Amino acid sequence: MTDKGMQIPFASVEAMHQEIQNEIRVKFEEVYRKNWFIQGEELRKFEEEFASYCESAFCVGCGNGLDALMLILKAYGIGAGDEVILPSNTFIATALAVIYTGAVPVFAEPDLFDYTIDTDKIEEKITARTKAVIAVHLYGQPADMDALLAVTKKYGLKLIEDAAQAHGAYYKGRKTGGLADAAGFSFYPGKNLGALGDGGAVVTNDKILADKVRALGNYGSDYKYHHIYQGNNSRLDELQAAFLRIKLSRLDVWNKRRREIAKLYTDRIQNPLITLPVERQACESVYHIFAIRCRQRDSLEKYLNERGIGTNKHYPVPMHLQNAFRHLGFHRGDFPAAEEISDTELSLPLFYGMTDQQTEYVAECINSFGA
Ligand SMILES: *Cc1c(COP(=O)(O)O)cnc(C)c1O
């Protein structure tokens, strides 16, 4: 069974970057010759194109995904004394965005079926201080937005999408980014739409919010050297915006291949020890991560690594057990669903450029595990 020749990385941007290398070089020369690197034509065009891609009215580029979420919260006036509900299984940026406004992150359990926030567990977390809920479209799968809109509307809360893992995903025929009040995106190189460095964006249909986010990310300035807010420096530069425009034009093709690989995995993996990911009814995941679960996760990981297969865990420590948040006073057992996912989740290789043969090999290795 062991195929010494087959080496499959967990992820790779190589095939994408090979396809666009000439366009990237031409674009670099163009921007370089213009000598205009911040807040120019490339950013304006990217913002227009990405808003339209997300079927939304406005897009504001910023420095990274963490800032995108933080700027949304700040623009809504959320800060000290407020609470924001978010899932206990996410990347730490979702919680830090809340903390950096001065507000308190309130963790809620994920659903063990689709790994997004459990919509039945939100109402019990709402207090008089609650101002917003952040829904994370984890692993590329949209959260259950209809149920979330129902509960946030009932209590007059803002609903924010953390769409850092879900560029191009669909929820009941509609794109992520336009499903709630506002959405934060990351263009970290490893995301489905990644820059050649850091980058992020806020997407919204709310003009007032878009204008305020734009000012907040540019030193709180609405007009040169006039500062209406104490803002941040968080901008998407011309080079990254230009590169992102090239990659955005390919995103649907790249996401389609990710979905093909996910389907091949789902068709081929047959092992009673393994739980496969499930797509929500009427939704399309973009499979940022192909997350399986297994009680013998650590020995499965070793088994796959020994057979040349790269793997990862998303995420090994849930939010409430992170050392950085020990002051919040949580313990093991406080969020059993998040802990269950952290203890059993394993991420399989999935990237544009991965062949059917490679995918089948990974599936075969998983099927032979424990047999
Ligand atoms: C990557 C990521 C972020 C943060 O994005 P950065 O650009 O790295 O700041 C936020 N939330 C989630 C769910 C992410 O995966």
**Cβ atoms within 10 Å of 326's Cβ, excluding its own:** 11
Pick the residue whose CA is nearest to atom 14 on ligand 1: 164
pLDDT at 371: 76
> In this model, does residue 3 exceed pLDDT 70?
no
* Percentage of residues of the chain with pLDDT beyond 70: 99
User: Could you report the per-residue pLDDT of 315-328, keeping only the tens digit for each?
Assistant: 999 999 999 999 99
**In sequence order, which residues have a C-beta less than 8 Å from that of residue 73 and are 6 or more positions away?**
84, 97, 98, 101, 103, 132, 160
Asked if omega into 315 is within 30° of 0 (cis), the reply is: yes
Shortest-distance atom of ligand 1 to CA 165? 15
Cα 174 from Cα 170, distance rounded (Å): 5
CB of 134 shorter than 6 A to ligand 1: no
* Percentage of residues of the chain with pLDDT beyond 90: 98
> In this model, does residue 92 exceed pLDDT 70?
yes
User: Could you report the per-residue pLDDT of 264-291, keeping only the tens digit for each?
Assistant: 999 999 999 999 999 999 999 999 999 9
| Cross-strand bridge partners of residue 83 | 104, 130
Residue bearing the bigger pLDDT, 287 or 5? 287
Pick the residue whose CA is nearest to atom 5 on ligand 1: 65
CB of 161 shorter than 6 A to ligand 1: no
Pick the residue whose CA is nearest to atom 6 on ligand 1: 65
For residue 66, how far is its CA from the centre of ligand 1 (angstroms)? 6
Average pLDDT over residues 108-131: 97
pLDDT at 183: 99
CB of 162 shorter than 6 A to ligand 1: yes
pLDDT at 100: 98
For residue 69, how far is its CA from the centre of ligand 1 (angstroms)? 9
Q: Which two three-digit tokens encode residue 58?
A: 């406005």
User: Could you report the per-residue pLDDT of 355-368, keeping only the tens digit for each?
Assistant: 999 999 999 999 99
Query: Could you tell me the pLDDT band of residue 47, with boundaries at 50, 70 and 90?
Result: very high
- Give how far Cα 84 sits from Cα of 44, 128, 153, 343, Å: 31, 11, 15, 26
User: Could you report the per-residue pLDDT of 211-269, keeping only the tens digit for each?
Assistant: 999 999 999 998 899 999 999 999 999 999 999 999 999 999 999 999 999 999 999 99
CB of 94 shorter than 6 A to ligand 1: yes
CB of 133 shorter than 6 A to ligand 1: no
For residue 72, how far is its CA from the centre of ligand 1 (angstroms)? 14
Query: Looking at beta carbons, which pairs linking 358-364 to residues 24 or more positions away fall under 8 Å?
Result: 358/6, 358/8, 359/261, 359/264, 359/265, 359/268, 360/264, 360/268, 361/3, 361/6, 361/8, 361/309, 362/8, 362/265, 362/304, 362/309, 363/264, 363/265, 363/268, 363/269, 364/1, 364/268
User: Could you report the per-residue pLDDT of 255-267, keeping only the tens digit for each?
Assistant: 999 999 999 999 9
Quote the DSSP letter at residue 8.
B
Shortest-distance atom of ligand 1 to CA 190? 1
CB 136 within 8 A of CB 162: yes
With vertex at residue 128, the alpha carbon angle to CA 122 and CA 134, rounded to the nearest 5 degrees, is: 40
CB of 234 shorter than 6 A to ligand 1: no
pLDDT at 368: 98
Alpha helices by DSSP H, listed for 39-196, are 41-53, 65-75, 93-99, 145-155
Shortest-distance atom of ligand 1 to CA 136? 13
Shortest-distance atom of ligand 1 to CA 200? 7
Phi-psi map region of 369: left, alpha, beta (phi>0 left; psi -120 to 50 alpha) = beta
